[in-house]
Amino acid sequence: MARSFPDLVLGIETSCDETAASVAKRMDSAMGLAPKLLSNVVSSQLEVHKKYGGVVPEIASRKHLEAIIPVINEAIQTAGVGPGDLSGIAVTSRPGLVGALVVGVSTAKALALAWNLPLVGVNHVLGHVYAGFVDSAPKFPFMALVVSGGHTVLIHMLSHTQYQVVGRTRDDAAGEAFDKVARLLGLGYPGGPAVDALAKRGDPNAVKFPRAHLEPESLDFSFSGLKTAVMVFMEKAKRQGRTVPVEDLAASFQEAVCDILVEKTLKAAELYNTRRVLVAGGVSANSRLREMLTDSSQRLGVEVIIPPISLCTDNAAMIAIRGLYLFEEGVRDDLYLNASADSPVS
Ligand code: KG4
Ligand code: ZN
C-alpha cells in the first residue's frame, strides 16, 4: 500500500534535450528545513543537437528513450536507496516537446504502477522555481521570474498551489533571443553561455540597443525587436565597412536583455508588494544577470534568490522538489496523466 505522505521522491524530466532523474528527501518543512537532494543526474543531448543549430524534436525523443532507464537507475543508486524506499514519483508532464515529454510520463506511469507509488505531474515552468528550494526554503509570497529558452514569465507565488502569472513575453523568450543573436554572431548552440563568455571581454555600452518597456505599467516582455536591432546594426556596419568587435555586440545585447529582465522583475515585486524575488531557468545562469540582481538586492534591500548555476538549466532535482511539496499539499495524478505540449502555467 503506497504511503500517503511521500518523503523520498523520484523526479523525472524529459521536456526538451536533457534526460534527467533525481531523488529528493523531504526534511521537516514545519521547521522551515529545505528538501535535501540525494542525487541529481542529467544526461545532456547537447552534442547531438549542436550540429543542427537547435533541438530536433524527433531525435530528442529517441535519445530520451535510450537514456531514461540508465539515468533513473543511476539517480536511485547514487541516492543510496532502492525502489522500495521511494515514496512517490514526480514527472514533468507539460509544457515542452510532446514526443520528449511522453517518454518521461510513460516511464513514470509504468514505475508508479510497478512499484505501487503515488504519481504527480509537474509543470516544467513552475518546476524551475523549485531550483531555488534546494539549500533554503524561500518564504511566500515572492515574485518569480522564470527565464529560459522557451519561457519568460513573471509569477506571483503565494503558496505551492496558489500563484498568478503577472507578466510574460509577447514574442521570443529571453533564452531564445540569446540563441538567435549567438547564431548571428557566429557562435555555437546553445548561444546563452557563448554570449555570456564573450561579453566578459566586451563593452556593454558600445551599442545602445533598444529596451522594450511596452506600456507604462506592463509587466510583459518583448525580445524580438532587440534581436532584429542586432541584425540591422550588423548589416549596416557591414555596408559601411565598419567593424564592430563581436565582444562589444555580445556585451551590449546582453546588457539590454538583463536591464529589462531586472527592471520588470523589480517593478513586479513593487506592484505586488513583495520584497522577495526568485529568478530561475537557463538564463538565470547568466553572469551579468546574476551580478545585476545581487547589486539591486544590496541597493534596494530586496531579497534575491538565485539557484546555483548547476540547477538553472533543465534538471530533475527541481521536479522532484516541486513533487515533494505537491504531495505534501495532497496533489496527486492518476495513471491517465498525459503529456501536453503547451499548457499554461498551472
Ligand atoms: O531552462 P533551460 O535549460 O531550458 C528551457 O526550459 O528552455 O534554458 C535553456 C536556455 C537556452 O536558451 C540557453 O541559451 C540559455 O538558457 N542559457 C543562458 C546561459 N546558460 C543557458 N543564457 C544566457 N546566459 C547563460 N549563461
Ligand atoms: Zn527549462
In a domain, 336, yes or no: no
Query: Which pLDDT belongs to residue 50?
Result: 87
- 24 Cβ below 6 A of ligand 1: no
In a domain, 333, yes or no: no
Q: Residue 128 has which C-alpha cell?
A: 524551475
Query: Which pLDDT belongs to residue 37?
Result: 96
Query: Which pLDDT belongs to residue 33?
Result: 78
Tell me: do 296 and 149 sit in the same domain. Answer: yes
Q: What CA–CA distances, in Å, run from 9 to 28, 266, 308, 325?
A: 15, 34, 21, 10
pLDDT in tens, 134-172: 978 899 999 999 999 999 999 999 999 999 999 999 999
Instruction: Judge if the upstream peptide bond of residue 190 is cis by omega within 30 degrees of 0.
Output: yes
> Residue 283 CA: which ligand is closest?
1
pLDDT in tens, 192-206: 999 999 999 999 999
> Mean pLDDT over residues 11-25, rounded?
96
Tell me: do 46 and 164 sit in the same domain. Answer: no
pLDDT in tens, 205-224: 999 999 999 998 899 999 99
Residue in this structure with the C-alpha cell 523520484, named with its chain if needed: 10
In a domain, 252, yes or no: yes
- 35 Cβ below 6 A of ligand 1: no
Confidence of residue 346 (pLDDT cuts 50, 70, 90): low
Q: What CA–CA distances, in Å, run from 100 to 20, 172, 332, 340?
A: 12, 21, 22, 10
Number of alpha carbons in the 13 Å side-chain half-sphere of residue 216:
0
Tell me: do 270 and 150 sit in the same domain. Answer: yes
In terms of Cα–Cα distance, which of 20, 14, 53, 13 is closest to 190? 53
Q: Residue 77 has which C-alpha cell?
A: 543508486
- 172 Cβ below 6 A of ligand 1: no
pLDDT in tens, 246-288: 999 999 999 999 999 999 999 999 999 999 999 999 999 999 9
Query: Which pLDDT belongs to residue 1?
Result: 42
Specify the CATH number for the domain of residue 321.
3.30.420.40
Q: Which of 178, 187, 291 to mutate to test the pocket of ligand 1 (most atoms within 8 A of CB)?
A: 178
Supply φ then ψ for residue 74, to 5 degrees.
-65, -40
- For the cut 50, the answer to whether the pLDDT of residue 4 exceeds it is no
CA of 144 to the centre of ligand 1 (A): 16
Tell me: do 75 and 146 sit in the same domain. Answer: no
Quote the Cα angle for 87-92-96, to 5°: 175
Tell me: do 80 and 184 sit in the same domain. Answer: no
Confidence of residue 3 (pLDDT cuts 50, 70, 90): very low
Q: What CA–CA distances, in Å, run from 302 to 120, 126, 134, 286?
A: 33, 22, 20, 20
CA of 157 to the centre of ligand 1 (A): 22
In a domain, 45, yes or no: yes
In a domain, 344, yes or no: no
DSSP 91-150: EEEESS-HHHHHHHHHHHHHHHHHHT--EEEEEHHHHHHGGGGSSS-PPSSEEEEEESSS
Tell me: do 68 and 164 sit in the same domain. Answer: no
In a domain, 342, yes or no: no
pLDDT in tens, 44-59: 998 899 888 888 999 9
Supply φ then ψ for residue 12, to 5 degrees.
-130, 135
Domain of 168, in residue numbers: 142-306
Rounded Cα distance between 10 and 132, Å, is 18
The total number of structural domains that make up the chain: 2
